[in-house]
């Protein structure tokens, strides 16, 4: 089932519209909301998702898009070639702990909620152009300090762009770059 945009998606979208540039990777594209938000500033876009239905959903939305825009199935970077690099990587990850949300792949990021994000940061290093940036969103229901300390250990510096309190959580949008 395609992950439909929610509060986290819309908060991230606000920043993607402002900051996207160059060759863009939209990891976990879902409906393609972040890819379409990046269109005006991107030179090209690669949108990937673990869900084949999401990939088809986005492909069916490309009829009038004139920029280079590719969509493919990929579990994180599993279907992204080693030599494919990007200036701007967007990731609206699954970040909720499994125990509370029944292991739904579209919303849970591992047993504690942070594992998918940390794996993403490990793999993203090899696909980020010099000066490239990663933008992502996650929740207070994730272990925020674990995510940030893991990113720091992997060689990233980061900046908090936005914080929004919603019903049962706090959403954070962060921008990451390699040191």
Report the chain (179 residues): mean pLDDT per 10 consecutive residues. Answer: 88 98 98 97 97 95 88 97 98 74 51 83 98 96 94 98 94 98
Rg (CA), the chain: 15
Q: Provide the pLDDT for residue 66.
A: 85
Q: Given 3-state DSSP classes, what are the helix, strand and coil percentages for the chain, each rounded to the nearest 5?
A: 30, 35, 35
Domain assignment present for residue 2? The answer is no
Which structural domain, as residue segments, surrounds residue 168?
7-178
Q: Provide the pLDDT for residue 141.
A: 86
Q: Provide the pLDDT for residue 96.
A: 66
Q: Provide the pLDDT for residue 119.
A: 95
Report the alpha-carbon distance of residue 68 to residue 28 in Å, rounded: 18
CATH number for the domain that contains residue 164: 3.40.50.150
DSSP run (H or E) holding 120? helix 115-124
Domain assignment present for residue 76? The answer is yes
- Look at the alpha carbons of 39, 44, 48, 52 in this order and tell me if their dihedral is positive or negative: positive
Domain assignment present for residue 134? The answer is yes
According to DSSP, residue 66 is labeled -
Number of domains in the chain: 1
Domain assignment present for residue 95? The answer is yes
Domain assignment present for residue 77? The answer is yes
Domain assignment present for residue 1? The answer is no
- Tell me if 12 sits within 8 A of 173, measured CB to CB: yes
User: Coil, strand or helix: which one is 102?
Assistant: coil
């Amino acid at each position: 089932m395609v992950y439909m945009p929610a509060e986290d998606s819309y908060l991230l979208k606000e920043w993607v519209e402002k900051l996207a540039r160059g060759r863009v990777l939209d990891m976990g594209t879902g409906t393609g909301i972040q890819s379409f938000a990046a269109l005006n500033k991107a030179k090209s876009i690669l949108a990937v998702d673990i869900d084949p239905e999401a990939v088809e959903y986005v492909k069916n939305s490309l009829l009038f898009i004139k920029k280079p825009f590719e969509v493919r199935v990929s579990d994180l970077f599993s279907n992204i070639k080693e030599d494919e690099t990007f200036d701007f990587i967007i990731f609206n990850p699954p970040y909720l702990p499994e125990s509370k949300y029944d292991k739904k792949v579209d919303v849970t990021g591992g047993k504690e909620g942070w594992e998918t994000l940390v794996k993403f940061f490990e793999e993203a290093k090899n696909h980020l152009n010099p000066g490239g940036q990663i933008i992502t969103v996650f929740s207070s229901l994730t272990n925020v300090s674990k995510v940030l300390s893991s990113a720091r250990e992997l060689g990233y510096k980061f900046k908090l762009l936005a914080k929004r309190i919603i019903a049962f959580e706090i959403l954070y949008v962060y921008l990451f770059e390699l040191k």
